[in-house]
Structures are given as C-alpha cells and as structure tokens.
C-alpha cells in the first residue's frame, strides 16, 4: 500500500522541515522526487540523502513567487504526477503592527507561490490525464491564532484555493486536498525560539508544546505520513478536503 513507484513528484520547500520529511518518505516509497527550494544548498543536501539511500531525486533552485522561474523549473522537470505545495514563510504580528512590506511578502510567497505552481501544473496534469495537488495550509486558517495576522490570512487563502481547484478540475481526474498542521517541531521553530526567547528556549518550547491537548508538537515525519496517504492511489476517492493534523488543537482546546 501507498506505493509511489513510477510517480514523479514536485515538492516546493523540500530542503527543510516538513518538505524535507515529505521528500524523504516519498522517495522511500518509490517516487522520483524533484525539490524546488530557494536554498540550493538545502535542496542539494536532501537530494544527497535520498540518493545515498538508493532513491532518485533532483534539486532546482527556484523562487516560487516568480512565475517565470516556476515555468522554467517545470519545463526542466517535464511530466510529473504529484505537486506538493509546501513552501511558505511565517510572520508574527497583529493587523495594526504588520507593515505593508511584510504583508506583501507573506502573501507573495505563500499565496502567489502556490498559485504559480498550480498554474503551471494543470497543463502537465491534463497531458498526463490526471494528477494530484496537495497544499500545506495550517490550523491558522481554521481558528484564531494570536499575532499571526498575515500568516493566517495567507493560509486561509490556501484553504479556499484548495476547494476551488478541487471543484474546477474534478472531472479531469485532478485531485486537490490540503493538510492543516498545528505546531510542528522544525528548524523554523528552533530559530523562532532562539530569536525571541534567548536563554528561555526550553521553557518556551514546553509552553508551546502544551498548547496542544496531546501535549507535544508534531514531528515532520507525522505530517509526511498523512501527505503520503493523500497523494497515493489509495486516496483516489478524496478531493476537496482539508485534514487538520493538530494534536486535538482545533476540537479539544476549550
């Protein structure tokens, strides 16, 4: 079950965190993985990991906010079967203290970046007679998260984008779903704690972990496991759905 043998997969932001975990797992399941990342060095490191384990992977330095760059990368890749829109950036701030440049930057990367990749993927999927799109949304799209105005707005857009794409292309054998993680322990979280709580990293790590009813943050590999299912043929009857993976955050936090 959950084999991706003979599948070609494009993963944005595959050089670290959740994207890296998805790339490693998909390669283990037989996929040929194509990593798009702004950080060429990070993408290359993940490709090296995959190749050392006997898998197949390539990296492409690409700014997903630039449609011409995405078009060029996809042209180099050729036909593929699965697109995972994982790349994104975060921002801390409320509506009144988020400046215009920061708001534009978050929306350009998180929303326009996903749009650019979907825009270029649909013609490929038509040529393939079908395909799968998986978008990384967030619980920030589902519930109010303090000090995450721009980020929450962008992930709300991803959720709406998922439903729109699923509706528009269901009769062309193109499925589109999204995953909404809660806090996941990634290099971003480590950097956030170090920058904002120097000397109190462990204390704040415990505090953030306990905001989830399950009592801990998710591991990237747990998000990757759900991504694998939704991109596999076993999930062929699923489209237009969002899957919170949140340790009970959205339903059990009273």
Residue 61 burial by Cβ neighbours in a 10 Å radius (0-12, 13-18, 19+): middle
Kindly give the pairing relationship between strand 82-85 and strand 131-136. parallel
For residues 2-39, b (16+ Cβ closer than 10 Å) or e, as one string?
eebeebbbbbbbbbbbbbbbbbbbbbbbebbbbbbbbe
H or E element that contains 63: none
Catalytic member of 115, 151, 169, 243: 151
The CB density around residue 228, as the number of other CB atoms within 10 Å, is 22
In a 13 Å sphere around the CA of 182, the CA atoms on its Cβ side amount to: 23
Nearest partner of 228 among 33, 44, 73, 62, judged by Cα: 33
- Is there a catalytic annotation at residue 229? no
Nearest partner of 230 among 131, 128, 122, judged by Cα: 131
Residue 109 is given by DSSP the state I
Active-site positions read 151
């Amino acid at each position: 079950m959950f084999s991706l043998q003979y599948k070609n997969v494009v993963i944005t932001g595959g050089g670290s965190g959740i994207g890296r975990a998805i790339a490693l797992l998909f390669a283990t399941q037989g996929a040929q993985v194509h990593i798009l990342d702004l950080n060429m060095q990070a993408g290359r490191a993940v490709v090296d990991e995959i190749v050392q384990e006997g898998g197949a992977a390539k990296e492409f330095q690409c700014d997903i906010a630039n449609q011409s760059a995405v078009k060029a990368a996809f042209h180099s890749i050729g036909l593929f079967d699965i697109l995972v829109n994982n790349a994104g950036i975060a921002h801390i701030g409320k509506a009144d203290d988020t400046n215009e440049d920061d708001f534009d930057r978050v929306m350009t990367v998180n929303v326009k970046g996903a749009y650019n990749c979907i825009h270029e993927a649909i013609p490929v999927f038509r040529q393939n007679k079908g395909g799968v799109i998986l978008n990384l949304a967030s619980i920030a799209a589902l519930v109010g998260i303090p000090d995450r105005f721009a980020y929450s707005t962008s992930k709300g857009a991803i959720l709406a984008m998922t439903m729109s794409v699923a509706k528009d292309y269901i009769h062309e054998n193109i499925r589109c779903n999204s995953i909404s993680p809660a806090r996941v322990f990634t290099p971003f979280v480590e950097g956030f704690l170090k920058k904002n709580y120097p000397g109190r990293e462990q204390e704040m790590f415990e505090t953030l972990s306990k905001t989830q009813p399950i009592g801990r943050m998710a591991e990237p590999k747990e998000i990757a496991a759900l991504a694998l299912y939704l991109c596999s043929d076993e999930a062929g009857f699923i489209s237009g759905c969002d899957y919170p993976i949140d340790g009970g955050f959205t339903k059990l936090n009273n």
